[in-house]
A and B are shown apart, each in its own frame.
Chain A
Amino acid sequence: EDKVVQSPLSLVVHEGDTVTLNCSYEVTNFRSLLWYKQEKKAPTFLFMLTSSGIEKKSGRLSSILDKKELFSILNITATQTGDSAVYLCAVPYSSASKIIFGSGTRLSIRP
């Protein structure tokens, strides 16, 4: 059965800390792995990863994929209160138009 598992489920850190969020997957016909941020309602796209070992960066956020070990990590450095959100990992499965999401990691940043 195709699945995407994220850990931890929740995380509370202080502003300025660095966090690492984990995502492991077992998906047939793997094409890509996606990271989304969901603050209130609409998830917003962060990264799409398709190749192992190539880091994607956007400001303080970065992500990398390991296709051999079937996992990805999302790093956030110098966290700010605005980083508080649920971070979702997702993988298209079966066909490119069906996407399976992980349960998410709820990140809370304390000032």
Chain B
Amino acid sequence: KAGVTQTPRYLIKTRGQQVTLSCSPISGHRSVSWYQQTPGQGLQFLFEYFSETQRNKGNFPGRFSGRQFSNSRSEMNVSTLELGDSALYLCASHPRGESTGELFFGEGSRLTVL
């Protein structure tokens, strides 16, 4: 069974640009969550999608957005990039709408903003 796949794995952008990251969950998993990981703040919840609907959103500015497609694949977008957006962006999938247990994480997309 294939794991969670995130693309691209690494990318470099400059301030002011925008970026789109992609996540393909494990087959059969309908919920996808996104997290930002930085050395200073650790892992922070961005948002969660279930059946193409955003169920929850963390405390991030509106420059951070996402969506989910009918095949459960998800994308997140960050517009007007700032230096502080440099981070590892992790996607996690889980089989049910309620996540009280195991999340299956992808390898992440490492974004560097110059």
Contacts and interface: CB of A to CB of B under 8 A. Distances in A.
B99 A96 contact: yes
A68 interface: no
Contacts of B90: 41-43
Given A42-B106, A43-B105, A97 B97 contact: yes
A58 B55 CA distance: 33
A97 B108 contact: no
Given A42-B107, A101-B43, A94 B56 contact: yes
A27 interface: no
Interface in B62-114: 88, 90, 97-108
B107 A92 contact: no
A85 interface: no
A110 to B, nearest CB: 23
Interface in A55-111: 88, 90, 92, 94-104
Contact of B101 (A32, A95, A101, A102): A32
B88 A41 contact: yes
Contact of A99 (B3, B50, B99): B99
A41 B107 contact: yes
Contacts of A95: 55-56
Interface string A27-55: 00001101000000111110010000000
Nearest to A88: B43
Contacts of A34: 101-103
Contacts of B88: 41
B42 A98 contact: no
Nearest to A93: B45
Contacts of B100: 31-32, 48, 92, 96
A68 B61 CA distance: 36
A74 B104 CA distance: 20
Contact of B45 (A31, A32, A99, A104): A99
17 contacts: A31-B100, A41-B90, A42-B105, A42-B106, A45-B101, A45-B102, A48-B101, A96-B98, A97-B98, A97-B99, A99-B33, A99-B99, A100-B45, A101-B42, A101-B43, A101-B44, A104-B42
